[in-house]
Structures are given as structure tokens and as C-alpha cells.
Structure 1
Amino acid sequence: MSAEAGAGPARLDVDAIIDDPRTRIVVCCGAGGVGKTTTSAALGLRAAERGRHAVVITVDPARRLAQSLGLESLDGTPRPVPLAEGAQGTMHAMMLDMKRTFDEVVEEHADPERARQILDNPFYKTLSTGFSGTQEYMAMEKLGQLRRSGDWDLIVVDTPPSRSALDFLDAPKRLGRFLDGKLITFLSAPAGKGAFRVLGSGFGLVASVVGKLVGARFLDDLRSFVSAFDTVFGGFQKRAEQTYRLLQEPGAAFVVVAAPDTDALREASYFADRLAADSMPLAGLVVNRVHPLPDGGRLSAAEAERAAEALGGGEGHTLAAAALRLHAERVRLRARERRLCQEALSAHPGLPVAEVAALAEDVHDLDGLRSIGAALADPVRA
């Protein structure tokens, strides 16, 4: 925020975060479409060129982002990013492959024959690609895998583009409870086995009704899946809880990303509240695509419009009058952005903020990402 708007919030010191060797994980979160992926890539690049060995996990990136990283494409394998000559660190980038990550979990925790049964099961194929929360859960799984590998000293996570930013925190627990829960065990249990023998025909009737609702084939696939999946059961909730604890440690830093509009800032405020409730370290807020006033642009909107009116439609004054009216519109837009940010931050006094100016065009190369990183480190002040 500018001096005109008062002291304003504290400035988010991005370099202090990425330069601190104790920082091992940076999570960029927020609503969809606010520039999280670009922010994540820019932070990873800046950290690498300042000496860190960084890996960026991105989710469903546009092809232009891979190209801006100097890569043909991104996949589930961390790929080295070509850095500037003299760069002190290294950078890798990868795209979250939801199904492949799920497959890796199965292969790690089941013997080869049982793993094959699981991977070939139709219910598993649906679960690993289409169930709500699977993508968020697998983002957590991949984060844990990379952290355990020890190959990088900084992991930057671009959270999935969920309907709600809170899905990143909630969905893994929901999926873990589903996989470890009693309902799935009940649905998959043979009617004549164990405690269900006591229910006799009553259980058979329930199973018959459920079978009509979801399909007998579905129940057969589910039973087969659970039978093969038995050795993996119990680990999902445990790993979700382990990752939660990892994200609560001082070595993690959450950066909430927003745009200067009501919905994105409201989502950012909700996320900040949730992080505080879960005792997760919130580093600050990045507000992308703001419209700072040009240097020397100190005329108020009203003053600019009065000056434009004074010029009238006289010969030679048309362009000057149009420029003054354009300035008036820009001043009003900037005032609105400041007001929205102040309203969102009113519930979070002291939260550090970095505002990044809107670009004339999309980022399409490493230099563009470097400019975003530099803007994060020296944010808008006007």
C-alpha cells in the first residue's frame, strides 16, 4: 500500500523466506485463477538462482508454463530447469500425476502380486482418477515423497485448482477416512463372514438394496479391491496426519495468493483463518495483478477530470484530455484495490503483504519468471 493510504500492512519479505535454510517447504495456496502456479514457479526459480536446490510441484499447468521454464512439457518426473549462467543452486519442476502417485503408494506398500490385483481393479481405477479429494490427497503424498527423498532442500507446492482453496487441507483427511473407514468395509464384506453372519438374511437384504443402488458389479469390484488392498489399509490416514504435522513445523511457509477482487480476497481471508486454526505457519499474502499509479501520478481522480474538462475539446488538447480521463479511471481502480485489500486484511492485522503489478502479457520465458520473482521481492508501493 502507498504512503497515501497510511502506514499499510507489513511488507512480505520473500527473499528472507527462500534464503533461510530452515525453510524447507513453501506452499502457494488460494482460489483458482489468481496466479498461484506462476507465483510458485517464480519463487522456485528465484530460490534456485540464489543458492537453493529447489523442486516445484505444479498441478495441471498451462503448456506455456513448461515452455517458460525452458522445458518441452512437464510430467510426473522432476525435470531440471536450465538456469542462468552463474546460478548458485538447481531447480527441478514436475507436474502432479495423480494416478501415478497413487500407483506408487500401492506398489510401495503391497507385494507385487497384490499390487497387480489392485492396479487392475476397476474400482481402484475409478478411485485413483475420479474421486473427489484424490488430487489433493496425492499432492500431499507427493510432497511427503519428495521430502523423504532428501534430494532437494526446498520444495515449492502449487496447490490444486479446487473449487475452494480449503479443499487442499480438507480433502486428504476426507479421502483417508473413506479408505480407512467402516462404511467401505461394510459395503465390501461378504454376507456370510464374521459378525455379519449374525445379521443373516437382514444383511443379505441390505446388501441386495445397496447392490441395486450401486450395481452388483460395483460391489463385486469393491469387495475384490478391499480384499487385495488390505495390506495398504490404515496407511492413508496416518500419512495424511504425518504430512499435516510436517506442514505445521517451522520449516514450512504458506503463501496465500489472491487477486484484487472480492471473491479471491474473501477466499484468501478464509484460508488465513484456517491456517491459524490449524497452527500452520502463514508467511504472508501475495496480491497479483494490481494496478499501481505511475511515478508522479499524484492527481486525484476528481482533479484529473476537472483538468480534462478545463482543456475542453480544443484543438491539440484531445489526447491530453483523454490521458487525464484515463488517469482518473486508474486512480479509482487503484483506490478500489486498496479498499478491498484493507477490508480483507482487517481480520488479519500484521499479515505481511506483497502486491505484484499486472503484466501487459503472459509470462512466456525464464526472464518473465525472473521479473515476477523480482517483483515479489520488491513489491508495489504506490
Structure 2
Amino acid sequence: MMLDMKRTFDEVVESHSDTARAQQILANPFYQALSSSFAGTQEYMAMEKLSQLRAQADRDGTWDLIIVDTPPSRSALDFLDAPERLSSFLDGKFIRILSAPARGAGKGIGRLVGAGVGLFAGVLNKVLGAQLLSDLGTFVAAVDTMFGGFRQRAVETYALLAAEGTAFVVVAAPERDALREASYFVDRLAADQMPLAGLVVNRMQNANADGLSADQARAAAERIEDEDAMVASLLTMHAMRLDEAARQRRLVARFSGAHPNVLLRGVPALAQDVHDLDGLREIGDLLGQPT
């Protein structure tokens, strides 16, 4: 399934609030912006959706395996960092100030907060505008009781990522930049003590020399270029494929040298695009072959 960020956020609100409070939150302009476009919301909602799917699998036996497909590795780190960023946001001074009146309602602290935050609120009014600040304050007050649940589920899901039965598979093309990104992500997983299953190098050039090396093919192409241009072109193409395959093998060997304990599997470039179950089965068969 494709992650629907806003729908997932709405589901969280509806499942952890009574009907009146949920309607108040869903109608709030700040919530509508937060749930659809704020930086970091997508990564946290991915955590929430993973938590929902895991709970459903445990309850109903719906799935044997849940696969989370993330963007390239630097963006995948945003997914790993989402719980910590959420906790920092919820514990931040700005949120505490906005939620303090709700938390202190009916208590002596309400007057203290009102007196102490007056100047700060005036500055925010000028910077954000009175209406935006009002929407933000209303939103924070409405979801104040949900903050603990947000944090708890994020922490629990993060712990699930490091638990037995979870495994990370890093996928990279056999290119310098892609393998550098893969190396960065592998190091980060090791630092966070996350379980790494291995690296899949996708679309490897699988050129077989068949007794004709790249140098021999180029030399033959030069000799017959004037006599048979088509055969000469095929020989040149053969040489180029062999050169590319050798270049890719060197890059992969460099990665393996830096990460000798990382299991590695290569998948050759296929003649056709992979867009159906038959293509996925072919990829699966290739992954299962011994290296």
C-alpha cells in the first residue's frame, strides 16, 4: 500500500480522541497544514502506519511479513530519526508554552503562565499573526492529552525496528555515489544497533567474456571496421559491456573491503522492466542463487 500521510494522521486522531475533540482537531487549520505538508510528518506517519499494521498482524494474523520500502538512504534516516524528533518537538519550550494554559486551567499556574508569557505571546503575534497563533494554540490544547500516546507509540515502534525478527536490507546500484550512500547507511545502522540483513546490488552488468576479452574485441573491431561495420559495432559493444562489468565489480569489491561482515547479493540487469509478479519471482530466484 502507498502511505496516505493525512489519512493516517486522521486515523490516529479519531482512534485516540472522543468524537467532539476529534472533530475540533480535524477542523483546525493548523492541524490541516501539519497533517498534509509539514516537514517530518510523513516519516512519523510512516511509523504510525507501521505500528498499526503490526498490531493488526498480531491481532488477526493478516500478514506473515511487513516490508517497508523507504526512499534512498539519506531519506530513510529521516524515518529512523522520526521518534526522537517528535519527542524533541513535544518537549520543546514553544509547545510547552502553548499547552501550559490548558494544562494549568483551574490551577494557580494559569495566572503565572498568563503573566510570564504575555511578552512572548506579543512577539509571536507579530511574527506569526494573531489568527495563526490562535489556531496553533487551539490545536495544541486539543491534542495535549494525545502527546504522550504519540511519543509512546513512536518509541515502541522504534524498538520494534531493533527487535528480533526485523531486518534491514540496503539496496544500491553499482555506482560510486549509490554505494557511498549505502556505506553511510550501513554505518548508521551499526551505530544504532539495528539488524542489517545485507546489501543488494541491483542491475549489475553480467557480461560473459566467452574467451573474448575487451581488448581483443576492440582490436578485432578496428581490423574489420571497413569490411563489416555491423560486426565491428557488436564487438565494440561487447568490449564496453565487459569494461562496465569490470568497473562495477571494482566498486562492489571496494564496498566489501570496507564492510567485510556485510552479506552481499548482486542482481543482474534484466532485459525487461520488472513490473509484475513474474518479474519479482525472477528477482527472488536471482537473489537466492549462491554467489
TM-score by length of 2: 0.88
Q: Distance in 2 between matches of 1:112 and 1:322?
A: 71
Equivalence for 1:360 = 271
CA contact (8 A) 1:139 1:159 kept: no
Q: What residue in structure 2 maps to residue 281 of structure 1?
A: 195
RMSD: 2.4
| CA positional deviation for 1:333 | 1.0
Alignment counterpart, residue 215 of structure 2, candidates 264, 277, 302 = 302
Tell me the number of residue pairs that the alignment of Structure 1 and Structure 2 aligns.
Answer: 284
What amino acid sits opposite 1:301 in the alignment? A
Match of residue 256 from structure 2: 345
Alignment-derived partner of residue 176 in structure 2: 262
CA distance in 2: counterparts of 1:285 and 1:367, whole angstroms: 23
Instruction: Report the residue type matching 1:308 in the other structure.
Output: A
1:316-355 equivalent positions in 2, closer than 5 A:
317-355=228-266
Task: Give CA-to-partner distance per residue, 1:52-92, whole Å, 9 cap, x none.
Answer: xxxxxxxxxxxxxxxxxxxxxxxxxxxxxxxxxxxxxxxxx
Is the 1:187–1:219 Cα contact (8 Å) retained in structure 2?
Answer: no
Match runs of 1:105-120 below 5 Å: 105-120=12-27
Residue aligning to 1:235: 149
Query: 1:142 and 2:55 equivalent?
Result: no
Instruction: Tell me the distance in 2 between the aligned counterparts of 1:365 and 1:129.
Output: 31
TM-superposed deviation, 1:242: 0.8
- Deviation per CA, 1:159-192: give whole Å up to 9, x if none: 2468633212113421343134332122455599
Given the superposition, is the C-alpha separation of residues 207 and 162 from structure 1 closer, same or farther in structure 2, using an over 3 Å criterion?
A: farther
- Counterpart residue type for residue 125 of structure 1: Q
Cα distance in 2 for residues equivalent to 1:109 and 1:243? 17
| Letter of the structure 1 residue corresponding to residue 212 of structure 2 | L
Q: CA deviation at 1:321?
A: 1.8
Higher share of residues assigned helix:
2
More displaced stretch, 218-227 vs 155-164: 155-164
User: Per the alignment, in what secondary structure is the counterpart of residue 155 of structure 1?
Assistant: coil
Q: Deviations over 1:215-246 (max 9, x none)?
A: 21111111111111122011222211111111
Identical residues among aligned pairs (%): 62
Q: Using a 3 Å threshold, how does the CA distance of structure 1 residues 298 and 272 change in structure 2: closer, same or farther?
A: farther
The residue type paired with residue 338 of structure 1 is R
Q: Which AA in structure 2 matches 1:213?
A: V
Q: Residues 135-214 of structure 1 correspond to what in structure 2 (within 5 A)?
A: 135-149=42-56, 150=58, 151-160=62-71, 164-190=75-101, 195=109, 197-198=111-112, 203-214=117-128
Give the conservation status (yes or no) of the 8 Å contact 2:97–2:117: no
| Aligned position for 2:4 | 97
Name the amino acid aligned to 1:276: A
Larger Rg: 2
Q: Does 1:218 align with 2:107?
A: no
One-letter amino acid of the counterpart of residue 307, structure 1: A
Shift of 1:101: 1.2
Output the CA distance in 2 between the equivalents of 1:302 and 1:187.
Answer: 71
CA shift, 1:310, in A, is: 3.0
Aligned residues of 1:307 and 1:321 also touching (Cα < 8 A): yes
In 2 relative to 1, CA 299–350 (structure 1 residues): closer, same or farther, beyond 3 Å?
Answer: farther
- Which residue of structure 1 lines up, in the alignment, with residue 207 of structure 2? 293
User: How far off its partner does 1:330 sit?
Assistant: 0.8
CA distance in 1, matches of 2:255, 2:249: 10
| Contact 1:196/1:203 (<8 A) preserved | no
Q: Considering fraction of residues, name the structure with more strand.
A: 1
SS in 2 for 1:113: helix
Pairing partner for 2:39 from 132, 148, 154:
132
Within 5 Å, give how 1:7-26 maps onto structure 2.
Answer: none
Amino acid in structure 2 at the alignment position of 1:284: G
Please tell me whether the aligned partners of residues 90 and 147 of structure 2 are also in contact (alpha carbons under 8 angstroms).
yes
Q: CA deviation at 1:376?
A: 2.3
Offset, 1:196: 7.2
2:126 counterpart SS class: helix
Structure 1: gaps spanning 5 or more residues: 1-93
Could you tell which deviates more after superposition, 196-205 or 275-284?
196-205
Output the CA distance in 2 between the equivalents of 1:107 and 1:202.
Answer: 34
